[in-house]
Amino acid sequence: MQIQIGQATLELVEGDITQQDTEAIVNAANPSLLGGGGVDGAIHRAGGPAILEECRKLGGCATGDAKITTGGRLRARYVIHAVGPVYRREGPTKAAQLLASAYRRSLEVATEHGVKSIAFPSISTGAYGYPMEEAAPIALQTVINFLEHQQDGIQLVRFVLYGQRAYAIYVQALQRIMAQRTVAN
Ligand code: APR
């Protein structure tokens, strides 16, 4: 599924974040930035040790923030390590704010580095326990708001959903957002 927001394209695909050819891919990291399972493990395995070597120099990353390293052996030039909230620890309201911040900071860091295309996983919806039906509209609305207000920065934001169920949830969330925008305009 693909939509246009200003000069930018927002697209949803089903696939593996480590295989994406965007300039940057976003990692669903933890505050240590020293690796883990899920997306984190896949990115470090595919990208190689150069990524962790740079992560070690970053001094960690706060929840809701994002930091950038080389993409190592990945097709992507950069990995932007974003730390999402642990849903049960933060509770729904704070978790929503921190999740939105993780996406926004990733886009800000990408823009600071002149990145024109970026791929996101569904941050916090795995080990961090964020219900995907709640996370998807927050993630999509945050990205849409950013793309609507940026000055000729990012041209492509791709959500890379792992499996058919995740993809379907994001498609439904995006369709609902677009329907509301149509009514609003
Ligand atoms: N490509 C795209 N999406 C993936 C991939 C992949 N290769 N592997 C897993 N996912 C999906 C999961 O299905 C989930 O929907 O990414 C989403 C995020 O899951 P996690 O990787 O578990 O990330 P998160 O929930 O943010 O938890 C972060 O897990 O791996 C550790 O070090 C990490 O402590 C941190 C925590």
Q: How far is residue 104 from each of residues 43, 66, 183, measured CA to CA in Å? A: 21, 9, 26
Segment (H or E) for 46: helix 38-47
Segment (H or E) for 139: helix 132-149
Q: Is the CB of 112 under 6 A from ligand 1?
A: no
Best mutation site among 26, 30, 39 for ligand 1 pocket (most ligand atoms within 8 Å of CB): 39
Ligand 1, atom nearest to 16 Cα:
1
Predicted TM-score (pTM) above 0.95: yes
Which CATH architecture is the domain 2-184 placed in?
A: 3-Layer(aba) Sandwich (3.40)
User: DSSP characters for 157-169?
Assistant: EEEEESSHHHHHH
CA 134 from centroid of its chain's CA atoms = 15
pLDDT single digits (tens) 78-130: 999 999 999 999 999 999 999 999 999 999 999 999 999 999 999 999 999 99
How far, in Å, from the CA of 177 to the mean position of ligand 1?
Answer: 24
Give the pLDDT mean for 37-60.
98
Question: Where along the chain do its domains lie?
Answer: 2-184
Segment (H or E) for 107: helix 87-112
